[in-house]
């Protein structure tokens, strides 16, 4: 069967006609298969949701228990038949619970990666390359300028700054699902054993990570009790949105830090008032994107959400058929 008859874009999202399901739909549908818990991929209001147990749990934490009429947990590697179409979930290395979805029918296999990365991350299972005919790749950082340094180096810069300025607090902006927990875990792996202070928006997800066996050490709420001095020398983690509001003003002479792949662009850090940009991304950089495309052995690449053109061009130069998918509605919260 032709690949585009097996999966193709619709306004609701990527649709499989023979299986009658959508992958990461942006509007409510009857049957949704969901790659991971970031809010642009995992929305509430579908009739039924098939996802990994961790993604289902994360959706429950974010949207409340009744985010869908029915749910089904997909075990990694297990094949599930949906109207004669075989689907299976495989680790994507993006955030806890994240999965690629393989869709196979009449000898054609397409893998929808969702968001993914190849850098080691102690807070989720590593990406597994799956052989396929068509690989659907994200392209958030799909330009050769994007090369992420080792995350350990970035965390070492944060710890160095914290040691240099013991009277100041370090406010680290990090997305609530995935990035925040990864930053905390990296601090622990680097030997930082003081309490880490967290914004309330991170509490439940961080607690969930800890419950799933990802040790984040002692986390304390970043609330003022004894006055500003409480946070002298502290590392405080919060969602980027919190840094613009009153919450951020309670900390003594704070150094503003932001953990994101976008911090590679100096201008962007400057405009956002970020003093200490940390290039830590949960998305594949250029080398990871191109390396992964080759590893899948796919004859055809569909490129979505991000900078499609450069990656499509790279594929063509490599003799791999490629086209942009033009899915709408994805603005990843976890870059
Ligand atoms: Zn994501």
- The rounded distance, in Å, linking the Cα atoms of 130 and 160 is 40
- Between the CA of 233 and the centroid of ligand 1 the distance, in Å, is 31
Q: What is the dihedral of CA 227, 232, 237, 238, to 10 degrees?
A: 40
What SS3 class is residue 73?
strand
Strand ordering across the sheet containing 321-324: 79-82, 85-91, 99-105, 108-112, 134-139, 300-306, 321-324
- Between the CA of 134 and the centroid of ligand 1 the distance, in Å, is 21
- Between the CA of 213 and the centroid of ligand 1 the distance, in Å, is 21
- Between the CA of 95 and the centroid of ligand 1 the distance, in Å, is 7
Residues in the chain: 335
- Between the CA of 270 and the centroid of ligand 1 the distance, in Å, is 24
- What is the model's pLDDT at position 226? 54
- Between the CA of 294 and the centroid of ligand 1 the distance, in Å, is 22
Neighbours of ion ligand 1 (CB under 5 A): 38, 115, 332, 334
Phi then psi for residue 290, to 5 deg, are -70, -40
Total-model pTM: 0.95
- Between the CA of 38 and the centroid of ligand 1 the distance, in Å, is 5
- Between the CA of 158 and the centroid of ligand 1 the distance, in Å, is 24
- Between the CA of 271 and the centroid of ligand 1 the distance, in Å, is 24
Outline where 119-202 has alpha helix (H): 151-164, 179-189
- Residue ranges and CATH numbers for the domains of the chain are 3-145+283-324 (3.60.15.10), 151-278 (3.40.50)
- Between the CA of 232 and the centroid of ligand 1 the distance, in Å, is 33
Which DSSP symbol is given to 42?
A: S
- Between the CA of 208 and the centroid of ligand 1 the distance, in Å, is 18
- Between the CA of 116 and the centroid of ligand 1 the distance, in Å, is 8
pLDDT in tens, the chain (335 residues): 899 999 999 999 999 999 999 999 999 999 999 999 999 999 999 999 999 999 999 999 999 999 999 999 999 999 999 999 999 999 999 999 999 999 999 999 999 999 999 999 999 999 999 999 999 999 999 999 999 999 999 999 999 999 999 999 999 999 999 999 999 999 999 999 999 999 999 999 999 999 999 999 999 999 866 555 678 899 999 998 888 777 888 888 899 999 999 999 988 888 888 999 999 999 999 999 999 999 999 999 999 988 899 999 999 999 999 999 988 777 766 66
**DSSP result, 161-181:** HHHH-TTS-EEEE--TTTHHH
Beta strands in 204-316 (DSSP E): 219-221, 235-238, 255-259, 276-278, 300-306
CA 230 distance to own-chain centroid: 32
Which one, of 88, 311, 19, lies nearest residue 7 by Cα?
A: 19
- What is the model's pLDDT at position 333? 61
């Amino acid at each position: 069967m032709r690949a585009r008859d097996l999966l193709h874009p619709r306004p609701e999202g990527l649709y499989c006609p023979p299986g009658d399901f959508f992958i990461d739909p942006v509007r409510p549908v009857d049957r949704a298969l969901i790659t991971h818990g970031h809010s642009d991929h995992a929305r509430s209001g579908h009739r039924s949701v098939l996802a990994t147990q961790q993604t289902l749990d994360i959706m429950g934490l974010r949207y409340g228990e009744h985010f869908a009429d029915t749910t089904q947990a997909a075990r990694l590697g297990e094949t599930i038949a949906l109207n004669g179409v075989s689907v299976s979930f495989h680790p994507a290395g993006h955030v806890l619970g994240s999965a690629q979805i393989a869709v196979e029918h009449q000898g054609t296999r397409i893998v929808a990666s969702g968001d993914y990365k190849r850098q080691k991350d102690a807070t989720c299972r590593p990406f597994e390359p799956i052989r396929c005919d068509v690989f659907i790749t994200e392209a958030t950082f799909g330009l050769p300028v994007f090369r992420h340094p080792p995350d350990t180096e970035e965390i070492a810069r944060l710890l160095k700054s914290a040691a240099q300025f013991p009277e100041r607090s370090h406010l680290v902006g990090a997305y609530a699902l995935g990035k925040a927990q990864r930053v905390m875990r990296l601090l622990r792996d680097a030997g930082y054993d003081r309490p880490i202070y967290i914004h309330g928006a991170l509490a439940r997800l961080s607690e969930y990570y800890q419950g799933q066996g990802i040790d984040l050490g002692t986390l304390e709420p970043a609330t003022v009790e004894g006055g500003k001095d409480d946070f002298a020398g502290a590392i405080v983690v919060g969602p980027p949105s919190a840094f613009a509001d009153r919450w951020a003003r309670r900390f003594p002479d704070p150094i503003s830090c932001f953990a994101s792949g976008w911090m590679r662009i100096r201008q962007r850090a400057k405009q956002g008032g970020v003093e200490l940009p940390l290039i830590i991304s949960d998305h594949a950089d250029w080398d990871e994107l191109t390396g992964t495309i080759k590893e899948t052995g796919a004859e055809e690449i569909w490129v979505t959400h991000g900078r499609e053109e450069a990656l499509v061009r790279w594929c063509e130069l490599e003799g791999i058929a490629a086209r942009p998918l033009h899915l709408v509605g994805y603005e990843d919260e976890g870059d």
